[in-house]
Structures are given as structure tokens and as C-alpha cells.
């Protein structure tokens, strides 16, 4: 998704903007641009491609010189990726803006503006906002923003320069995230905290329809009526290191290695006297006793974490769980009852479909529980109950450590729910919780013991046209995540299939040498999965088996075996996911792909 930054102060603004945008690269983008006040005029530089392309262009043409400006990385929605469509956009002589989000009624607004003599150079919805703001501007920025915001529909975060107000930035948001950073003699806007953390840890969260006014002397906030608002200053608890690569080649591999710590930091504070304790998050045993049905709603990897939740909760706590893709849930008229618990899982806490699904569930009277990594994000703020995962910033587009902490929370919740419902005793609950606490060390072992092997096996995958991931039960849930990981960063087609379902159609795809990654870590299902593996092997598949270290594997079952440390059967996803992440990572590296910023993808999907 698009990234926004802005700077007012005494530094070289072009440099600040580009370095801040680099920290937002994880959001995904296809073009970049900046606009800086220079000798009373606004100088814009934009380029299609990466920030390096923008920097090359500025080396050649000269960079804007000044101390106040706005910058943007664009992830195309309206109009192809091109220099002309990239931001910042001018709206005439008076206004220059950067925008993240989607203007739903841009066509109507564009027609109105054209009738009023305006002409457009780009295909974007953003230029419509720029033109409208310019059209409404008569020297009063707040008045123009108020009028414009009453006319536009959709989601947006805007950074605005008014040509006659050198030294000032205005910012406003509706739905799309925006923060305002402050330091001595300078202030910033950004779509996310990592963009500014090299300059300041202090920031304000801009709320829906609030306007921020930034100068080098400080920032002030008002509502759409111009009424002053006082806001709480927040201090980021991320170190700059945490938002950088720390010696690894890619963020993704760094984040894979951070998983043991992330799990520890997420789980440990939620244990009291050996039992899971989620009281501080608003979840009590008394409340859990009353829960009759659970819906887990999320997108992508977060939804796959929900699938793990479904298998374990239904098995141990005997509460029915429906897992939904958020974009389906919000439009399929789901049956939600007052006693239902709706769990929204999201790393970013800003995923548009997940946020809308949560709002829908609330409007239907259900209690909502958010499991979110990004502090202060929209989903975190609007949920009735909240469990923060403590993975720290996840920069790589392909989610790894966020998934790991999401499933950790699923386990905590499942154990507490099973105890609340009386299906396990406190002794059993403590034993399960102890086993969960041992997981970080096992993840560490798994990384050590499977890394090189995954690298070797990846060499055999790089030329494949298509792969299958198969498994049963929790292994099937894991296969879905393994398959998504591989396809999103290697660009090799893959599908996850319930192993027992293969012979109902998909087995016809198997040809000589086709890689099949079989996950068989569930002891109770092991023999059944092995039968399915033999079926594909008999048809020429190259089988890569992921199983536990003690599994007895017949000589004719697999071409390659990846063994992971054994733990309780239900906790096996926490070790078994690691080689699936590593296989995807190395396949992507070996194919020469941009591992952390795969094509067409964005880290935080803030549009529908």
C-alpha cells in the first residue's frame, strides 16, 4: 500500500523524505516521489520504480533543496504504475498532495471539476482530491480541508502543502493510518512508525477526520470545525535496530530468526501461576464460559493462523469455530449471535477487509477480540477486547514471525477456553502451557537443523512450474500457509490440498518430477497421510516430507525428509512451519527475486 511521509525542520528535506520512505518500502510500491518547498516554489520529483530510481533521477536532474516537504511511495490502484500517476500530485497552483487510500466517488467529483474548467493529467483518484482541494481553497486551509472532506467518500490519509504557506504541512486521515512525529525544532508525518524512528520516537496517532498542522515549532490538531484537540503523545517502544536488517541479507530471514524471541515476548507475560491469563486483555474465565461459538475472521497468513485456531479449539475446548476470509465474511451476511465471539487476527491492524468485518460483527451485537501486532492500529483501537502480539515490526511482506505469534495466542486462548469450559483440569492446562513455553527453544533448534537442508532442497524447486502442499488436520492448515509463503515470494504456482481430498480430482495434476511437499507431523494421522503420499509418489511426484524427528519413514515414501523437533502433537505447527518458511525464502533467493518486496504485493492492505 502507499506510504506517506512529510517533514518540516532544518534538515535537508529531500534526504529525510527518501530515508523515511525507505523504511516504508515493506508496504509495497511501484513508484515514488517527493515535493519540497524551494525558494517559495514547490519542486516535485517523481519516478516509476524503486526509490533508487528516484534517487538516480535526482542525482541527474538535481534534488529539491529545502526543509519542508512531503513524500510518497505508490502502490497503484487507479491507473498504471507510471511517473505521471505517481504522487505528489498538484491540484492547480495552490495545492500539492500525497495520498494513501481510495476515493470511491472520484468519478463524480472529476466530472464536476471538468465542468468547472479543470483539466487532469493523471488517471488517479488522488489528482481529483488535489484538484478539489485547490478548487475549494481560498486562503483558509482548514476550511478547504473541511469542505473537501465533506465531498469525498472513501479511505484516505493525506499530506498537503499549500503553495502560499511555505514552512507548513497539513495532514488529515479517514480510515488510512497516519502518525505525526515530533522532535526539537522538527515534525514529521508518516504512514507508520518505522519511517520516523531514526529521528524521533515521539508521535501522535491521528484519528479519523482530525487535521494536523505541522511547523518546525511544533504541531497542533483540530477537528473539521477548526476546534482545537489535545492529543496524547505516544513513545514508540521499537528500537531503530528492530526496524532494520541487523546483518541479515533480507528482513524475511531476520524475522524468521526472531521468532523464538517474539513467541517468548508474546506468551510469557500472559502466564500466571503456570496458567494462561488473558484478564488484562479483557478476557476472563467467566466470559469464556459463556462463549457458544467463535468466528475467526482475517486475511492471508492471519487467516491461516485462524485455521490452526479452529483445529485446536474445536479439539480441546469443544467450541465450534468458523474461519472466514474477511472479504467474504463482510459481504456474505454471516449468522452472528450475541453470545458469539468474533476474533479478528491482523498483523498490521489496518487491513481494510478485516477492519470492516470487525465493524460488521460489532454492529450485529457480537463481542470482538482483536489479535493485532501493530500498536494503536485501527483494529486494535476499535475491538472490544485486545491481545497484542509482540513480534515487533514485521517489515518483509511475507509474514513469518507475525504468524508464529498469532498461533501462540491461539494456543493460549484455546487452553484457557478449554479450562473455562471444564474440558481440561488446571493441571492439564499447566502442562500444556509449560509445553508452549518450551517452544521458543524448539523453534531455535528447528532453524539451526533445517536451514541448510531447506537451502539445498530449494535448489530442486526453482525450476518447478507448480507445486502441491498436502497434509491432514493441523498439517493441512500448515500446508495452506506454506503454499502461500512459497507462491508470494517465489512466484511459483502452488496449491495446498487436504491430503485425503487429492484423489477427488487434483491427483490428475501429478506428473513425473512434480514437487509435492507433504506435511505429516500429526502422529494420529501419520499413517493416513503416508498412504496419500504413496499415491502421489506412485505417479512420479518428487516428495519432500516434513515430519517429526522420531517418525518412522519407509524407504519408498519420500525423496527428501525434513525432520523437526517433536513436541505435543497439537503444538507441532510451531516447529513445522519453520522449514516451510525457509523453503519459500531460499527458493525466492535462488530465483533472484526481491524477497522482501515481492511484485504486486503490499505489506498492509488498507484498501478493499
- Catalytic residue positions, numbered: 2, 603
Give, in degrees to the nearest 5, the angle at Cα 410 between 409 and 413: 85
For residue 301, state whether it binds ligand M6R (rule: CB under 6 A). yes
Q: Are the beta carbons of 1 and 102 closer than 8 angstroms? A: no
Q: Are the beta carbons of 28 and 602 closer than 8 angstroms? A: yes
Contacting residue, 351, 378, 433, 450, with ligand M6R by CB under 6 A: 351
Residue placing its CB nearer to ligand M6R in the complex, 148 or 400? 400
Instruction: Report the nearest approach of ligand M6R to the CB of residue 25 (Å).
Output: 14
Instruction: Report the nearest approach of ligand M6R to the CB of residue 605 (Å).
Output: 5
Contacting residue, 354, 490, 532, 606, with ligand M6R by CB under 6 A: 354
Residue placing its CB nearer to ligand M6R in the complex, 19 or 593? 593
- Residue 589: CB atoms within 10 A of its CB come to 19
Give, in degrees to the nearest 5, the angle at Cα 470 between 467 and 474: 140
Distance, in Å, from the CA atom of 172 to the CA atom of 222, rounded to the nearest integer, reads 10
# binding residues, ligand M6R (CB under 6 A):
16
Q: Which three cell numbers stand for residue 504?
A: 477427488
318 prior amide bond cis, ω within 30: no
Q: Quick one: angle between helices 259-267 and 401-420, nearest 10?
A: 30
Type and span of the H or E element at 565: none
Strands 169-174 and 95-103: unpaired
Instruction: Report the nearest approach of ligand M6R to the CB of residue 216 (Å).
Output: 34
Residue placing its CB nearer to ligand M6R in the complex, 128 or 370? 370
For residue 175, state whether it binds ligand M6R (rule: CB under 6 A). no
Max intra-chain CA distance, the chain: 80
Residue placing its CB nearer to ligand M6R in the complex, 131 or 354? 354
Q: Are the beta carbons of 326 and 297 closer than 8 angstroms? A: yes
For residue 607, state whether it binds ligand M6R (rule: CB under 6 A). no
Strands laid side by side in the 169-174 sheet: 89-90, 95-103, 154-162, 169-174, 211-215, 218-222, 228-229
Instruction: Please name the residues in contact with 481: beta carbons below 8 A apart, sequence gap of 6 or more.
Output: 301, 304, 305, 403, 577, 580
User: CA 475 from chain center: how many Å?
Assistant: 23
Query: By rule CB under 6 A, what string of x and - marks binding of each residue 227-256 to ligand M6R?
Result: ------------------------------
The residues in 360-419 that bind ligand M6R, with binding defined as CB under 6 A, are 397-399
Instruction: Report the nearest approach of ligand M6R to the CB of residue 284 (Å).
Output: 26
Distance, in Å, from the CA atom of 42 to the CA atom of 6, rounded to the nearest integer, reads 14
Residue placing its CB nearer to ligand M6R in the complex, 266 or 351? 351
Residue placing its CB nearer to ligand M6R in the complex, 475 or 488? 488
For residue 299, state whether it binds ligand M6R (rule: CB under 6 A). yes
Contacting residue, 302, 342, 470, 544, with ligand M6R by CB under 6 A: 302
Instruction: Report the nearest approach of ligand M6R to the CB of residue 152 (Å).
Output: 25
For residue 582, state whether it binds ligand M6R (rule: CB under 6 A). no
Instruction: Please tell me whether residue 546 adopts helix, strand or coil conformation.
Output: strand
Residue placing its CB nearer to ligand M6R in the complex, 67 or 354? 354
Residue placing its CB nearer to ligand M6R in the complex, 122 or 399? 399
Give, in degrees to the nearest 5, the angle at Cα 552 between 549 and 554: 130
Instruction: Report the nearest approach of ligand M6R to the CB of residue 346 (Å).
Output: 3
For residue 132, state whether it binds ligand M6R (rule: CB under 6 A). no
Phi, psi at 483, each rounded to 5°: -65, -45
For residue 605, state whether it binds ligand M6R (rule: CB under 6 A). yes
Residue placing its CB nearer to ligand M6R in the complex, 414 or 595? 595
For residue 300, state whether it binds ligand M6R (rule: CB under 6 A). yes
Contacting residue, 43, 266, 327, 346, with ligand M6R by CB under 6 A: 346
Instruction: Report the nearest approach of ligand M6R to the CB of residue 574 (Å).
Output: 17
Distance, in Å, from the CA atom of 509 to the CA atom of 487, rounded to the nearest integer, reads 17
Residue placing its CB nearer to ligand M6R in the complex, 86 or 346? 346
Instruction: Report the nearest approach of ligand M6R to the CB of residue 541 (Å).
Output: 26
Contact window for ligand M6R (CB under 6 A) among 59-67, 283-291, 330-338, 346-354: 346-354
Instruction: Report the nearest approach of ligand M6R to the CB of residue 350 (Å).
Output: 7
Contacting residue, 38, 255, 488, 596, with ligand M6R by CB under 6 A: 488
Phi, psi at 601, each rounded to 5°: -110, 155
Task: Quickly tell me which residue has 530468526 as its cell.
Answer: 257
Instruction: Report the nearest approach of ligand M6R to the CB of residue 272 (Å).
Output: 28
Nearest to ligand M6R by Cβ — which residue? 300
Type and span of the H or E element at 25: none
Report which of 448, 426, 438, 422 is spatially closest to residue 579, judged by C-alpha positions. Answer: 448
Contact window for ligand M6R (CB under 6 A) among 166-174, 226-234, 253-261, 298-306: 298-306
Measuring CA to CA, how many Å separate 260 from each of 267, 382, 404?
11, 29, 9
For residue 327, state whether it binds ligand M6R (rule: CB under 6 A). no
Report which of 64, 62, 58 is spatially closest to residue 43, judged by C-alpha positions. Answer: 64
Distance, in Å, from the CA atom of 258 to the CA atom of 239, rounded to the nearest integer, reads 14
Contacting residue, 85, 148, 176, 348, with ligand M6R by CB under 6 A: 348
Residues that bind ligand M6R (CB under 6 A): 299-302, 346-348, 351, 354, 397-399, 484, 488, 604-605
Amino acid at each position: 500500500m502507499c506510504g506517506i511521509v512529510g517533514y518540516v525542520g532544518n534538515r535537508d528535506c529531500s534526504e529525510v523524505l527518501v530515508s523515511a520512505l525507505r523504511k516504508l518500502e515493506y508496504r509495497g510500491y511501484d513508484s515514488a516521489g517527493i515535493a519540497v518547498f524551494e525558494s517559495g516554489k514547490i519542486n516535485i520529483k517523481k519516478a516509476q520504480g524503486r526509490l533508487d530510481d528516484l534517487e538516480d533521477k535526482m542525482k541527474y536532474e538535481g534534488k529539491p533543496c529545502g526543509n519542508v516537504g512531503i513524500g510518497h511511495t505508490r502502490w497503484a490502484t487507479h491507473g498504471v504504475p507510471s511517473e505521471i500517476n505517481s504522487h505528489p500530485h498538484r491540484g492547480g497552483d495552490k495545492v500539492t498532495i500525497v495520498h494513501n487510500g481510495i476515493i470511491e466517488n472520484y468519478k463524480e467529483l472529476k466530472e464536476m471539476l471538468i465542468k468547472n474548467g479543470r483539466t487532469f493529467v493523471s488517471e488517479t483518484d488522488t489528482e481529483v482530491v488535489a484538484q478539489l482541494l485547490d478548487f475549494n481553497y481560498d486562503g483558509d486551509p482548514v476550511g478547504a480541508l473541511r469542505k473537501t472532506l465533506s465531498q469525498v467518500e472513501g479511505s484516505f490519509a493525506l499530506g498537503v502543502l499549500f503553495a502560499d504557506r511555505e514552512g507548513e504541512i497539513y495532514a488529515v486521515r479517514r480510515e488510512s493510518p497516519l502518525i505525526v512525529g515530533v522532535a526539537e525544532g522538527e515534525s514529521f508525518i508518516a504512514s507508520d512508525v518505522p519511517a520516523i524512528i531514526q529521528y524521533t520516537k515521539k508521535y501522535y496517532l491521528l484519528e479519523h477526520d482530525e487535521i494536523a498542522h505541522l511547523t518546525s515549532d511544533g504541531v497542533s490538531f483540530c477537528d473539521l470545525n477548526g476546534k482545537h484537540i489535545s492529543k496524547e503523545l505516544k513513545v514508540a517502544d521499537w528500537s531503530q535496530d528492530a526496524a532494520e536488517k541487523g546483518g541479515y541479507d533480507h528482513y524475511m530471514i531476520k524475522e524468521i530468526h526472531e521468532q523464538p524471541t517474539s513467541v517468548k515476548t508474546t506468551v510469557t507475560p500472559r502466564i500466571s501461576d503456570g496458567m494462561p491469563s488473558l484478564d488484562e486483555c479483557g478476557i476472563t474465565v467467566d466470559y469464556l464460559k459463556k462463549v457458544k461459538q467463535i468466528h475467526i475472521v482475517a486475511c492471508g497468513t492471519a487467516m491461516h493462523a485462524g485455521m490452526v485456531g479452529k483445529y485446536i479449539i474445536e479439539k480441546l475446548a469443544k467450541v465450534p469455530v468458523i474461519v472466514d476470509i474477511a472479504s467474504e465474511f463482510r459481504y456474505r451476511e454471516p449468522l452472528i449471535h450475541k453470545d458469539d465471539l468474533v476474533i479478528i487476527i491482523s498483523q498490521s491492524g489496518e487491513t481494510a477487509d478485516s477492519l470492516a468485518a470487525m465493524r460488521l460483527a460489532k454492529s450485529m451485537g457480537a463481542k470482538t477480540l482483536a489479535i493485532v501486532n501493530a500498536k494503536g492500529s485501527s483494529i486494535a483501537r476499535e475491538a472490544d477486547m485486545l491481545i497484542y502480539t509482540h513480534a515487533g515490526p514485521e517489515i518483509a511482506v511475507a509474514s513469518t514471525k507475525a504468524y508464529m505469534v498469532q498461533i501462540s495466542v491461539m494456543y493460549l486462548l484455546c487452553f484457557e477456553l478449554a479450562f473455562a469450559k471444564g474440558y481440561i483440569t488446571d493441571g492439564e492446562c499447566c502442562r500444556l502451557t509449560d509445553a508452549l513455553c518450551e517452544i521458543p527453544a524448539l523453534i531455535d533448534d528447528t532453524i539451526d537443523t533445517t536451514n541448510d537442508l531447506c537451502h539445498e532442497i530449494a535448489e530442486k524447486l526453482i525450476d518447478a512450474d507448480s507445486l502441491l502442499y498436502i497434509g491432514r488436520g493441523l498439517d493441512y492448515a500448515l500446508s495452506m500457509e506454506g503454499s502461500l509463503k512459497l507462491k508470494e515470494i517465489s512466484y511459483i504456482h502452488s496449491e495446498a490440498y487436504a491430503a485425503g481430498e487429492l484423489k477427488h480430482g487434483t491427483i490428475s495434476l501429478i506428473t513425473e518430477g512434480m514437487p509435492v511437499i507433504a506435511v505429516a507431523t500429526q502422529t494420529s494421522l501419520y499413517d493416513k497421510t503416508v498412504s496419500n503420499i504413496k499415491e502421489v509418489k506412485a505417479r512420479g511426484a518428487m516428495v519432500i516430507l516434513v515430519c517429526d524427528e522420531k517418525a518412522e519413514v519407509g524407504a519408498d515414501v519420500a525423496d527428501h525428509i525434513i525432520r523437526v523437533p517433536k513436541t505435543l502433537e497439537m503444538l507441532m505447527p510451531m516447529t513445522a512451519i519453520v522449514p516451510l518458511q525457509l523453503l519459500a525464502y531460499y527458493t525466492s533467493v535462488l530465483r533472484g527475486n526481491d524477497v522482501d518486496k515481492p511484485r504486486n504485493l503490499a505489506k498492509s492492505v488498507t484498501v478493499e
